[in-house]
Structure formats: C-alpha cells, structure tokens
A and B are shown apart, each in its own frame.
Chain A
Amino acid sequence: MAFNKFNVFHWHIVDDQSFPYQSIYFPELSDKGAYSCNLIYTPADVRLVIEYARLRGIRVIPEFDTPGHTQSWGKGQKDLLTPCYNGGQPTGSFGPVNPILNTTYDFMTKFFKEISSVFPDAYIHLGGDEVDFSCWKSNPEVKEFMKKQGFGSDYAKLESYYIQNILDIVSSYNKGQIIWQEVFDHKAQLKPDTVVQVWMANSYAHELSSVTGAGFPAVLAAPWYLDYISYGQDWKKYYRVEPLDFPGSEEQKKLLIGGEACLWGEFVDATNLTPRLWPRASAVGERLWSSRNVTDLQDAYRRLRNHRCRMLRRGIAAEPVFVGYCAHEGRRP
C-alpha cells in the first residue's frame, strides 16, 4: 500500500462467517466465533498492525458491520441476534442484531468503548449494509415493537432506529462514523460529518450526487471491487474511472474525499491475496493520488509494468500486467 501511496487500511475484520477479533471485554466472541483458536487477531496483533501502518502513513479504520453480517457474533454473545420464527415457532436460526432489546445496546455500548480505545483513528466504520429484513419480519416481538413505534411495515425504519442508536453510541466516544450507502439510502438520521461509502455499482454516480447533495462526505468504492476478477487487463477499467464524474456543484465535488479498492474475501486468502491485489490496485492508487488529467492509458501501461517489476524486486508477488518479463526474475544461479 505504501509503495502505492495508499493511506487508509479499511479493515473489514469480522462478518457472518467468522469473528477473528479477540475482544478484551468479550473474549467469547472470538472464542466461539473464530474459525479456530489460532485463527484470531490478538490485541498484540492489532497493535502491531496499527503501528506498522502508522510508520507508513496509513490510517487503520476498523469496520464492525452491524446489524447484518453478524452471524458469527451470535456464537459468543447470546441473545444478540434476532431469533427467526416460522409458524409461530423459533426455527433455531438467527438473523441480524436484535434492535429491540436493551441488552443489545448495553452490549454495543461496551463493545464500541473497547473499539474506540483500541483503534486510534478518528473514524470507525459501522457497516450497515445488506440487512435482510425477513428474520425481523418473522419475529413476533419485533413485529410488536414495530407497531408500538408506529413504523408500520417499513422495516427500513427499524434499521434506521437501530443504526441511529449505534451512531449515537460511537459519537459519544468522540469517533466519527463511516457507513455503507444503505444507511443513507434508508434515510437514517446521520451526524453532519458522517462519511457515506458508495459501493453499489448500479448508478453510483447518481448516488454520489445524492450523498454529496445532502451534504455528506463520500468515499467511492463501487467501480473498484477488485475481488470481481475477469480475464484480461482489467486494471484499465479501474484506471478509467473518474470519481468526480457525477452531476453536482463545486461544493458537492469537494465532499468526495476519496475512494477505496475492495478485495472481499469469499475467494481470497494468503495463497492468492498478493497477486490478486497487485498491480491492479495500483491503478486505483494512481487515480486517487494523481491529478485528474493523468489519464493516458499507454503511458500508464508503461509505468504500471515498471512499477510491477519494481514491486517484484521488493519481494512482492505482484502478478503480470501482460506478456513480457522483468529483468530481475528468471533463472537463479
């Protein structure tokens, strides 16, 4: 990242499948939620990452994505997730974080107190994407709550109710918040400096207009999902993106504070991470650093190839851009 002048490491540290973050207040979360007891990040590991990043001028912004994407949280924290129902009976499976219980917010208050002190950056990413309402809809207590709150059958309102509480909790620890675009789209009440991360590929320029039009800073990720691999020189399509190409005023454009290349992990681990990331992510790195008029593809191609060979020399297994070779590879004596 530092070789490419990236300056933010967005650590999507936990999700449905596993909870590798070893929490000090809630050790059961990783005890029960990690894939295995040695596939965890201890507090020392986390400190190491933060310091290693700091020395390279890289901010570490952790993401603890709720209320969806939390299956693994339920293993170590009883009653955190919503029990799903079928025909009046609990099915045994669980949905998103349960937004109607006080215990949920007690837990989150304590949990985010820890996160706020462990991670020194001014911002925490709170997720808020892809919340599946079906489990909430099936739960009688949740349905009761919806009625009491006057939300009708609009579960986006329940989602916003939940998120707003979390945002308040995190605010009270003097941390700024970044959230995925759904939180904004579903009209939750956001603090003025809340950063909205635009990730949905469909009409993302339009979304950027809406977000900045409403006065919120935006971070663009939508066209830079590097996990979506395809055959050929796909770095070009990442390079061609012009983040400010959306309808809006000067003030709006100033609110586009940058972007992120995303490498989601469904099909990625240590065996293929490096070649999949580099040099493709370098195209994003240049687009976010360089001036708007640095767009010549042929020139970029030449420099990207050089840069790839440079990374190879530095021991980074960056994959090839196209046919050819680097001077410092080939047979060893």
Chain B
Amino acid sequence: MTLENEPPWGTPCTQLLVYVAMPGCDGFPNLDSKESYKLIVSKGSMLLSAEAIWGVLRGLETFSQLVGRDENGTYYINETEIVDFPRFPHRGLLLDTSRHYLPLRAILETLDVMAYNKFNVFHWHIVDDPSFPYESSTFPELSKKGAFNAMTHVYTASDVRAVIDYARLRGIRVIPEFDTPGHTLSWGPGAPGLLTPCYVVQEPSGTYGPINPILNSTYEFVTSLFQEVSSVFPDFFLHLGGDEVDFTCWRSNPKIQAFMKEMDFGDDYKKLESLYIQRLLEIVSSLGKGYIVWQEVFDNDVVVRPDTIIHVWKENLLTPYKEEMANVTRAGYHALLSAPWYLNRISYGQDWMEAYRVEPLDFRGSPEQKALVIGGEACMWGEYVDVTNLTPRLWPRAGAVAERLWSNSTVRNMDDAYARLSEFRCTLLGRGVQAQPLYVGYCENEFGEV
C-alpha cells in the first residue's frame, strides 16, 4: 500500500457548530422568512451560521450533500466556504389531491424531497371537481358526500395538522387552495343549493355548474368555510383559485339571467364572476388572510387588493405567459410563475432541460416590475398521477425548477446542470426516493436492491 496515493485527510471533524442569530424555532415559515446561511468547513472546524432557523435548515441540507463516503466507508468533506441565499422567496410545488387521492405518506415523502431541493411552499390543491377529501369540521357532509370514499379517501383534521407540522419542521409553508367558483362539482352533494342548477330549455337538467353567485346562502357558506380554513391553515396566504369558470351553466339558468338584467351586466358573465370573486376576497380579507389567485381573476378585471399575488399558469399562442407576467407586474401586482412548469405534462426525452432554461424575469418590464415576481411553482396536476407514479414523475425533474428558483440567474450551464442533477438523482436513490433516471447510465446504489 503506497502512502502517496492516500488522500490528504485533515484532522477528523466530529461536529458541525450551528449558530442562529434569531433564536427560537416554534414559529411558522412565511414569505419573508430569512433563508440565507453561511457554511465554513476548514481544518478542524465546521461552522454553519444563519440569521434564522430557516437558513439553518437550508444550510444543513447543503451540508448533507457535501459529505461523501470513500470506498473504505470513511465519511469526508472538502474544505469550503459557502455564502448562500435564495433568489426568489416563493419556491413551490403543487400537488392535486382531488383528481386522485394521495395517501398521507406520499405527501409526507414529497415534503421530505422538497426540502432536499430547497422548495419552501407546498401548494395543496386539496379539492376540485372529482372529489372532496378535506374533512371539514363545520361542514362534515362535504367530504362525507364528496370524497371518493368517505372512510378511506379523506384527510382528517389530524392528517392536515400532521402535514402542516411536518412541513414546518422542514421550513415549508402549506398554502391550501379551495378553488372557486369553478372546479367545485364535488362540493355539490354535501352542500345542497351551493352550485348553480343548469337548465335545458327552461327545465333543470339535473346537472350543476359553478357556485351560485346570486344567493345569499352562498356567501354565508363561503364565510363559514373560509373561517374554518383560515384557522386550520396558519399561513398568511390562502389560494382562492378562480380559474376556468365555465359560463354555460350560468347562462342557462333563468334566475341568473334575471339577475344579470337587474345588475345591467348585459351578456358579460365575466362581470358576474367578478362579483362573486370580489365578495370572496372581501370575506377572506376580513378573516385576516392574504390571497393568491389564478390569472383569470386579474385577466377579468376583478378588483383585488394591492398585495394580491397573481398566479400565472396559461401558456398558449393567445396568452403567452411572458406577456402575462409583464401585464400583471405592470399593473403593480406580485406574480408567481407556473406556466412553463406543468410537470404533469410529460413528454419523451429530457424535458427537465426545458424547465431549467426558463428565465422567470425574461419579460418586458422595468426593474420595479421584475421585483414584483416573488417566485414560482412546479405543478403536478393529478389527472394521470397518483401514488403509483407520483415520485418518479416528480423527481428529479422538479429539481430543475427548484434550482432555477433558488440559484442566481447566471447558473444555467446545461452540461454542468446535467452532471449535478444526475448525481443528485443517485443521491435521492440512496435516500430511498424513487426518483427516475435522467438518461442512460446507472447509480452505485440502484433502486430496489437488497
């Protein structure tokens, strides 16, 4: 055994010293949480320092990725000095638990891997047309009648608390989305009278449309529900949805037609939608919450509070997202970008590259406008996704989005990103995460090996 081939091991380090400027870790992370940290590894000492506990969490994750293991089983780490902080404060992942129910362990595992990727917002699109798995204490009938199965496909109050706390310990905010007035079919069975009855030639057809915006009972219901949601979910922000409202049912309903005439809205049902949304926003505001809404709310000229966050999701020839980003920020609103990051839209090949190449601030606008972009979210809509394919479909592809939102805009070399992402994928495998391959090759620790 020749000594000159031995690596230059320094003195063994046995502890990482952690220093936090602001003591205490009982609180919840928020949009203004400080996630910066400094990590110094030198001969004989390793020091992690941060302003707040959230920075410590980020630094610990980085530290865990710096530690290697040689063929003899010795753990090692290179000397290094890192000063790190996120580019955008809102780096989120959307999961959809209505199109398919996701068992609690799948959500918790996703939160783990989000933390490995420094994601800090879990956007929980918890209910939608197909099912209502959220067990409401105020309106137990909603999940009783609206869940796929009221016994097995629900999130109890304790499940929800578990998610919120598991996320908190990882520096991840939980922002629930109760999307209205569209995307609410599953609300109907448990809340009779809530949805608009559709008509066919003057007779009720038996089918239902969006929430009925002309009834007082609607706003009473909405107030009570959001009162509960506001107290269950501690984050300042709620996502109120507001996307893809189909006007056909409203148009068919004679009472609504009469209301439209009364209000002098003519044939512009966007005005009716706005009326509902405006009242909803007022209700939520008075409950002391801020809100995020899908872009249609802005596009349809609804009057919203100045600190409203507009979530940009549409991408097509008519509405290219870069234009929308420009419009939203020009109007003075904060923007969240998701349009190029719909990870549910799978395709053949290394689509992570497209996600990585996105530059969120690449739109026409002043520096003041660009400062209004608070970040973005990778979305994993659930039409074709459940626990059988969630993890391989999410990772490592979502990692490309995570880096784009954390790192400096100059970090965009594809070859380097490929090398790091494929190695990170092997790291994920080693941590028991069923992350799929980026391309041909192998990892030292393959998935499923004994």
Interface size for B (C-beta < 8 A) is 44
B367-400 vs A: 1/0 string, CB under 8 Å? 0000000000000001111111101110000000
> How far apart are B151's CB and chain A's nearest CB, in angstroms?
8
| A327 close to B (CB within 8 Å) | yes
> How far apart are A307's CB and chain B's nearest CB, in angstroms?
14
Verify B436–A266 contact, CB threshold 8 A.
Answer: no
Give Cα A272–Cα B388 distance, bound, in whole angstroms: 9
Interface size for A (C-beta < 8 A) is 37
Question: Which secondary structure characterizes the binding site on chain B?
Answer: loop
> Taking each of B389, B434, B438, which has the highest tally of chain A beta carbons within 10 Å of its own beta carbon?
B389
Instruction: Determine the residue in chain B with the shortest Cβ distance to A230.
Output: B347
| B99 close to A (CB within 8 Å) | yes
Chain A residues lying within 8 Å of B384, measured Cβ to Cβ, are 231-233, 319-320, 322
Give Cα A323–Cα B98 distance, bound, in whole angstroms: 9
B413-450 vs A: 1/0 string, CB under 8 Å? 00000000000000001000011111111101011100
Verify A265–B440 contact, CB threshold 8 A.
Answer: yes
Give Cα A245–Cα B208 distance, bound, in whole angstroms: 43
Verify A319–B447 contact, CB threshold 8 A.
Answer: no
User: Which of A271, A319, A322, A323 lies in contact with B434, CB distance below 8 A?
Assistant: A271
Give Cα A283–Cα B441 distance, bound, in whole angstroms: 30
Verify A266–B440 contact, CB threshold 8 A.
Answer: yes
Question: Which secondary structure characterizes the binding site on chain A?
Answer: loop
Chain B residues lying within 8 Å of A318, measured Cβ to Cβ, are 388
> How far apart are B128's CB and chain A's nearest CB, in angstroms?
9
Instruction: Determine the residue in chain A with the shortest Cβ distance to B154.
Output: A331
Give Cα A325–Cα B131 distance, bound, in whole angstroms: 10
Give Cα A18–Cα B382 distance, bound, in whole angstroms: 36
> How far apart are B309's CB and chain A's nearest CB, in angstroms?
27
Give Cα A122–Cα B130 distance, bound, in whole angstroms: 51
Give Cα A36–Cα B346 distance, bound, in whole angstroms: 31
Chain B residues lying within 8 Å of A286, measured Cβ to Cβ, are none
> How far apart are A278's CB and chain B's nearest CB, in angstroms?
9
Name B309-355 residues within 8 Å CB distance of A: 344-350
Verify A230–B346 contact, CB threshold 8 A.
Answer: yes
Chain B residues lying within 8 Å of A327, measured Cβ to Cβ, are 149
Chain B residues lying within 8 Å of A228, measured Cβ to Cβ, are 348
> How far apart are B205's CB and chain A's nearest CB, in angstroms?
22
Verify A271–B437 contact, CB threshold 8 A.
Answer: yes
Verify B442–A324 contact, CB threshold 8 A.
Answer: no
Chain B residues lying within 8 Å of A232, measured Cβ to Cβ, are 384
Verify B388–A317 contact, CB threshold 8 A.
Answer: yes
Verify B442–A325 contact, CB threshold 8 A.
Answer: no
> How far apart are A211's CB and chain B's nearest CB, in angstroms?
27
> How far apart are A127's CB and chain B's nearest CB, in angstroms?
18
Verify A330–B103 contact, CB threshold 8 A.
Answer: yes
Instruction: Determine the residue in chain B with the shortest Cβ distance to A36.
Output: B442
Verify B101–A270 contact, CB threshold 8 A.
Answer: no
Chain B residues lying within 8 Å of A39, measured Cβ to Cβ, are 442, 446
| B152 close to A (CB within 8 Å) | yes
Instruction: Determine the residue in chain B with the shortest Cβ distance to A319.
Output: B389
| B123 close to A (CB within 8 Å) | no
Verify A324–B130 contact, CB threshold 8 A.
Answer: yes
Chain A residues lying within 8 Å of B154, measured Cβ to Cβ, are 331
Give Cα A310–Cα B212 distance, bound, in whole angstroms: 40
Instruction: Determine the residue in chain B with the shortest Cβ distance to A233.
Output: B384
Instruction: Determine the residue in chain A with the shortest Cβ distance to B384.
Output: A320
Name B87-112 residues within 8 Å CB distance of A: 99-101, 103-104
| B148 close to A (CB within 8 Å) | yes
Give Cα A229–Cα B346 distance, bound, in whole angstroms: 7
User: Which of B347, B350, B437 lies in contact with A269, CB distance below 8 A?
Assistant: B437
Give Cα A319–Cα B149 distance, bound, in whole angstroms: 19
Chain B residues lying within 8 Å of A275, measured Cβ to Cβ, are 388-389, 392
Give Cα A266–Cα B429 distance, bound, in whole angstroms: 18
A309-333 vs B: 1/0 string, CB under 8 Å? 0001000011110111101011110
Chain A residues lying within 8 Å of B392, measured Cβ to Cβ, are 271-272, 275
Name A248-292 residues within 8 Å CB distance of B: 265-272, 274-276
> How far apart are A308's CB and chain B's nearest CB, in angstroms?
9
Verify A323–B383 contact, CB threshold 8 A.
Answer: yes
> How far apart are A73's CB and chain B's nearest CB, in angstroms?
16
Give Cα A237–Cα B149 distance, bound, in whole angstroms: 31
Nearest first, the 10 A-B pairs at minimum CB distance are A330-B152, A275-B389, A272-B392, A325-B148, A35-B442, A272-B436, A317-B388, A319-B389, A330-B153, A271-B447
CB<8 Å pairs between A and B, sample of 23:
A17-B441, A18-B442, A36-B442, A231-B345, A231-B346, A267-B348, A267-B350, A267-B437, A268-B436, A269-B436, A269-B446, A271-B434, A272-B437, A320-B386, A323-B130, A324-B100, A325-B101, A325-B148, A327-B149, A329-B103, A330-B103, A330-B152, A331-B154
| A-B contacts besides A320-B385, A325-B100, A325-B101, 8 pairs, CB < 8 Å | A230-B346, A267-B436, A270-B447, A271-B434, A275-B389, A323-B99, A329-B103, A330-B148
